[in-house]
Amino acid sequence: MKMSEVGWRGSDCIQRLVLTVFLVIGLVGLAGGGAASAGDLSPEEILRQGERMYREGILPSGKPMQAYVSGDIPMEGTSFTCISCHLRSGIGSFEANVATPPTTGLHLYLPRKRTIEGFEHVPSYHKYATYFPPRPAYTDETLGDLIRSGDDPTGRSVLKVMPRYDIDDDDMAILIAYLKTLSPELSPGISKEEIKFATVIGPGVDQVASDSMLVPLEFQVSRKNAQAKTYKNNDRLARMAFNMIGPDLGAKSFSLAKWVLKGPPETWRAQLEEYYRAEPPFALLGGIVNGDWAPIHSFCEDHRLPDLFPITDYPAISDSDWYTLYFSRGIRQEGEAAARYLHGMYDLFSGRNIVQVVRDNREGQALAIGFREAWAKTGHPAPLEVVLKDGEELTPERLRKIASTKNPAALVVWDDDKSLPALASLGDLKEDKPGIVMVSGSFLGQSFWHIPEQARKLIYLTYPYRLPQDEARFDTNIKSILVGKPMADYDQTIIRRSYITGEVLNRALVKMRDQYYRDYLLDVIGMMANAVYPLYEGMTFGPGQRYTVKGCYIVQLGPGEKPQLERRSEWVIQ
Amino acid sequence: MKRSFGGVLLFVATFLVFVIQPVHAEDRPYQRSIVSLSIPDVVLVNQEGEKVRLRTYLESDLPVAVDFIYATCTTICPILSAGFTNLQRQLGDDSGRFRLVSITIDPEHDSPEIMKDYLDRYRAKQGWDFLTGSRADINRVMEGFDAYFPEKMSHRPLYFVRTGEAGRWVRIEGMVDGQSLLKEIDNTVNK
């Protein structure tokens, strides 16, 4: 049976049953059931221990696996885990002219041929297949031999790129049993005809904002569906699509469900569960809520459901969570950029303080946390802090007093547009003037364009996008999806972000070559080459990287009535 | 005609010199060449967040080897780093007397904190530094080493070992096993 014909409709309960069958077969099959201690373990425990070996390089004993790299360099397996090359899905990777083949049971226990059946004439599939020489199907024994010696069943050595591992029979049985459960069935939301997606819209989201998020996604869906229809009805175009994306993706249509949430965030989980139960999607695309993304983030982690690029300034920050791919670390990233920029000029401060003035609301606190944490990593003394209660006015007198009494080398002000008169008044100071005043372009909003001329040399802004004068050329991309609708009707940062989501999704699906596993979607995006997109000066992907926009400019407002932003830093400040 | 023993030896020696060795060299899974490099005068940042003036740093009295890697690489960088781990292991307590320099090709992601974690993972000892910097400076460094990768996903396995001659480096490209790397480095720095 072709894998693209396999649909997955099982509940978690059925999935556990499938895993159990795989695990039992795996353990009995290896060494004639001689893996006595492994055989004593429950299927769940075998899965846990096998996953730990695969992902962390840790043996069931708790010791690291022993690997030998390039045939002869002894290394701990924790530095050379299976996942680091074969990836989380087990479908493998292709990077730097090194192709890593799939290591899932479905692939290992079938013979590998020179071509992929049914896809012989699709260039991307054909090229992929040529990287891997034919071999017979593995048995548990020959697979164990490969992992221990580096020789495949044809006698070909893989030691040039893959380590060999010292693993005893019991532990090998666990690892092999785990490989048999890796990506065993296509993910939910996939059928022969369709890929189901969904997006989330939170309560109270501004209509323009939600429309700006939806328009690019709906454009992608309708374009793909028109293409799928053409694929069925027009032979000439079908052949083109066949050559470009293969018969499987070419024939599939997309759907996009809107999961509209109501009420307070603590009630969202139940609503998400209900939507999911009714129709599980392959992935969430975008999504927009007011406030923290954490409730949707944790829902996606629990259901192993990818979410590509939600529109949020408050993402969950994690080094290890897997399923939500964010544009950036949100507004706190501006605070981090400010800290690194000031660190670069710290030698000029002659030991004087930095003062951080923080509006006590979500934006102000997120910026302050980002600044504080990044500043702490520099090893410099902590900044002095002044907290402004929500609603408390920051008057020119108050800000001047802070400047004169604290005498800071740098005054960092995380406040909204109401602080503009106070900020502007600092330009008039003759004495007790800080060397630099740092503010957030996002928090001030469009009002920063009105910073008066006399204060412009003093005030530096964090600006997390490509500069406006360089961004105009990308208007063409956005107009192409608006099909005649006026651009002014949409929020320009949101529509651009959502446009990127559609583009990344398209690229990823083509690269997946009908291997529709949720983990593989994220694996593939992690392996993508960097590309130029609207809005951000740089989006960089990488295996396991979950915040793709790493940069933020520090800028100043130039002279004149129609000033331009002038760059004062690199996009990424180290 | 009966061939003399000396003649057979000469034939064998000739065969070894002109036939066996070149074939062996071609079979080597890596290429070795001597290159002249101009190191750009840029300031990078190491895993401790300290500024490092690269040209001065590489002109140290200590022997120097350089590679280009990035922290989340899934293929060749772990193997290159294993080569450095192995070298430091062989040097034992003298590891600090050989300067190993890994330069990131993913400066947008590889912050000092991430680089420090990476070195810990490879049991790096004193003498092995991991450097990042601005994209513009990293590009200049890659160009200086004639190792510019427009895209990190298409990079290649490269080591550079400084020779005793100013500006001259040994360039090793390909998957080199631990013993061969040690020999190449030994041949270069002890020449």
pLDDT grade for A41, boundaries at 50, 70 and 90: confident
pLDDT grade for A370, boundaries at 50, 70 and 90: very high
User: CB contact, 8 Å: B163 with chain A?
Assistant: no
Q: How much is the pLDDT for B155?
A: 87
Q: For A7, which DSSP code?
A: -
Q: How large is the C-alpha radius of gyration of chain B?
A: 19
Q: Phi/psi class of residue B172: alpha, beta or left (left: φ > 0; alpha: ψ in -120 to 50)?
A: beta
Q: For B122, which DSSP code?
A: T
Provide ipTM, 2 decimals: 0.81
pLDDT in tens, B95-128: 888 999 999 999 999 999 999 999 999 999 999 9
Q: How much is the pLDDT for A363?
A: 96
Q: How much is the pLDDT for B133?
A: 94
Task: Indicate yes or no: CB of B122 within 8 angstroms of CB of A571.
Answer: no
Residues of A in contact with B75 (CB under 8 A): 85, 93, 95-96, 98, 100, 161
Domains, chain A, ordered by start: 3-181 (no CATH), 194-328+471-543 (3.40.50.2300), 332-463+554-567 (3.40.50.2300)
Q: How much is the pLDDT for B1?
A: 39
- B43 assigned to some structural domain: yes
Angle at A321 between CA A317 and CA A322, to 5 degrees: 125
Long-range own/partner contacts, residues A122-125 (CB < 8 A, 24 or more apart): A122/A242, A122/A243, A122/A245, A122/A246, A122/A247, A123/A243, A124/A245, A124/A246, A124/A510, A124/A511, A124/A513, A125/A246, A125/A513
**Mean pLDDT for the stretch of residues A489-518:** 94
Residue B131, beta-bridge partner list: B103
Q: How far apart are CA B45 and CA B69, in angstroms?
A: 15
Residues of A in contact with B155 (CB under 8 A): 96
Question: What is the amino acid identity at position A246?
Answer: G
Q: Which range among A37-51, A281-295, A353-367 shows the weakest confidence by mean pLDDT?
A: A37-51
Q: How much is the pLDDT for B26?
A: 42
**What's chain B's average pLDDT?**
83
**Mean pLDDT for the stretch of residues B43-71:** 93
Chain A closest-CA separation from residue B153 CA (Å): 5
- A169-181 and A140-149 helices cross at what angle (nearest 10)? 110
pLDDT grade for A93, boundaries at 50, 70 and 90: confident
Angle at A511 between CA A507 and CA A514, to 5 degrees: 120
Question: What is the amino acid identity at position A303?
Answer: H
Q: Measured between CB atoms, which of B79, B108, B155 is closest to A550? A: B108
Residues of B in contact with A538 (CB under 8 A): 108, 135
Q: Which range among A56-60, A143-147, A156-160, A314-318 shows the weakest confidence by mean pLDDT?
A: A156-160
Structural domain harbouring B102? 31-189
Q: For A259, which DSSP code?
A: E
Name the residue among A369, A376, A277, A322 with its Cα closest to residue A522. Answer: A322
List, in order, residues 6 or more apart from A256 with CB less than 8 Å away.
A197, A198, A199, A217, A218, A221, A285
Q: How much is the pLDDT for B14?
A: 38
Residues of B in contact with A95 (CB under 8 A): 73-76, 153
- B7 assigned to some structural domain: no
Q: How far apart are CA A253 and CA A224, in angstroms?
A: 6
Chain B closest-CA separation from residue A344 CA (Å): 10
User: CB contact, 8 Å: B106 with chain A?
Assistant: yes
Q: How far apart are CA A285 and CA A200, in angstroms?
A: 8
Q: How much is the pLDDT for A38?
A: 62
Q: Yes or no: say if A526 and A543 are a contact pair by the CB < 8 Å rule.
A: yes
User: CB contact, 8 Å: A319 with chain B?
Assistant: no
Angle at A203 between CA A202 and CA A208, to 5 degrees: 80
Compare all CA atoms of chain B with the CA of A56 and give the residue at the minimum distance.
Answer: B121
**H helix runs in A157-205, sequence order:** 169-181
Q: Which two tokens stand for residue A255?
A: 């759907």
Q: How far apart are CA A520 and CA A527, in angstroms?
A: 10
Tell me how crowded residue A477 is: count the other CB atoms within 10 A of its CB.
Answer: 16
Task: Indicate yes or no: CB of A570 within 8 angstroms of CB of B134.
Answer: yes
Q: How much is the pLDDT for A72?
A: 79
**Mean pLDDT for the stretch of residues A24-47:** 60
Is A499 or B153 the better-scoring residue by pLDDT? Answer: A499
Q: For A194, which DSSP code?
A: E
pLDDT higher than threshold 80 for residue B57: yes
pLDDT grade for A247, boundaries at 50, 70 and 90: confident
pLDDT in tens, A206-234: 999 999 999 999 999 999 999 888 888 87
Q: Tell me the percentage of chain A whose pLDDT exceeds 70.
A: 93
Q: Which range among A50-64, A105-119, A518-532, B113-127 shows the weakest confidence by mean pLDDT?
A: A105-119
Q: How many domains does chain B have?
A: 1
- B5 assigned to some structural domain: no
pLDDT grade for A5, boundaries at 50, 70 and 90: very low
pLDDT higher than threshold 90 for residue A250: no
**What's chain A's average pLDDT?**
89
Q: How much is the pLDDT for A39?
A: 66
User: CB contact, 8 Å: A532 with chain B?
Assistant: no
Q: Phi/psi class of residue A316: alpha, beta or left (left: φ > 0; alpha: ψ in -120 to 50)?
A: beta
pLDDT in tens, A410-428: 999 999 999 999 999 998 8
Question: What is the amino acid identity at position A566?
Answer: E
HEC per residue, B131-148: EECCHHHHHHHHHHCCCC
Q: How much is the pLDDT for B28?
A: 63
Task: Indicate yes or no: CB of A96 within 8 angstroms of CB of B151.
Answer: no
pLDDT grade for A161, boundaries at 50, 70 and 90: confident
Q: How far apart are CA A364 and CA A331, in angstroms?
A: 9
Q: How much is the pLDDT for A497?
A: 98
User: CB contact, 8 Å: B45 with chain A?
Assistant: yes
Chain B closest-CA separation from residue A543 CA (Å): 6
List, in order, residues 6 or more apart from B84 with CB less than 8 Å away.
B65, B67, B100, B102, B122, B124, B128
Task: Indicate yes or no: CB of B154 within 8 angstroms of CB of A97.
Answer: yes
Q: How much is the pLDDT for A458?
A: 95
Tell me how crowded residue A524 is: count the other CB atoms within 10 A of its CB.
Answer: 25
Is A300 or A433 the better-scoring residue by pLDDT? Answer: A300
- B111 assigned to some structural domain: yes
Residues of A in contact with B153 (CB under 8 A): 95-96, 527-529
HEC per residue, B36-78: ECCCCCCEEECCCCCEEEHHHHHCCCCCEEEEEECCCCCCHHH
Residues of B in contact with A543 (CB under 8 A): 72-74
Chain B closest-CA separation from residue A542 CA (Å): 6
Task: Indicate yes or no: CB of A96 within 8 angstroms of CB of B178.
Answer: no
Task: Indicate yes or no: CB of A160 within 8 angstroms of CB of B107.
Answer: no
Chain A closest-CA separation from residue B141 CA (Å): 16
Interface test with A, best of B74, B111, B120, B185 (most A CBs within 10 A): B74
Task: Indicate yes or no: CB of A72 within 8 angstroms of CB of B178.
Answer: yes
pLDDT grade for B150, boundaries at 50, 70 and 90: confident
Compare all CA atoms of chain B with the CA of A92 and give the residue at the minimum distance.
Answer: B74
Name the residue among A270, A246, A210 with its Cα closest to residue A120. Answer: A246
Q: Which range among A84-98, A298-312, A410-424, B119-133 shows the weakest confidence by mean pLDDT?
A: A84-98
Q: How far apart are CA B77 and CA B58, in angstroms?
A: 21
Task: Indicate yes or no: CB of A96 within 8 angstroms of CB of B155.
Answer: yes
Q: How far apart are CA A63 and CA A44, in angstroms?
A: 20
Q: How far apart are CA A476 and CA A100, in angstroms?
A: 38
User: CB contact, 8 Å: A538 with chain B?
Assistant: yes
Its pTM stands at 0.87
Alpha-carbon distances of A403 from A250, A351, A367, A411, A436, rounded to whole Å:
63, 16, 20, 7, 11
Cα A128 to its chain centre, rounded Å, is 25
**Mean pLDDT for the stretch of residues A32-37:** 42
Q: Measured between CB atoms, which of A73, A96, A574 is closest to B178? A: A73
- B180 assigned to some structural domain: yes
Phi, psi for A107 (deg, rounded to 5): -90, -40
Q: Could you tell me the maximum CA-CA distance found in chain B, to the nearest angstrom? A: 76
Name the residue among B169, B136, B148 with its Cα closest to residue B59. Answer: B169
Q: What is the CATH number of the domain that holds B169?
A: 3.40.30.10
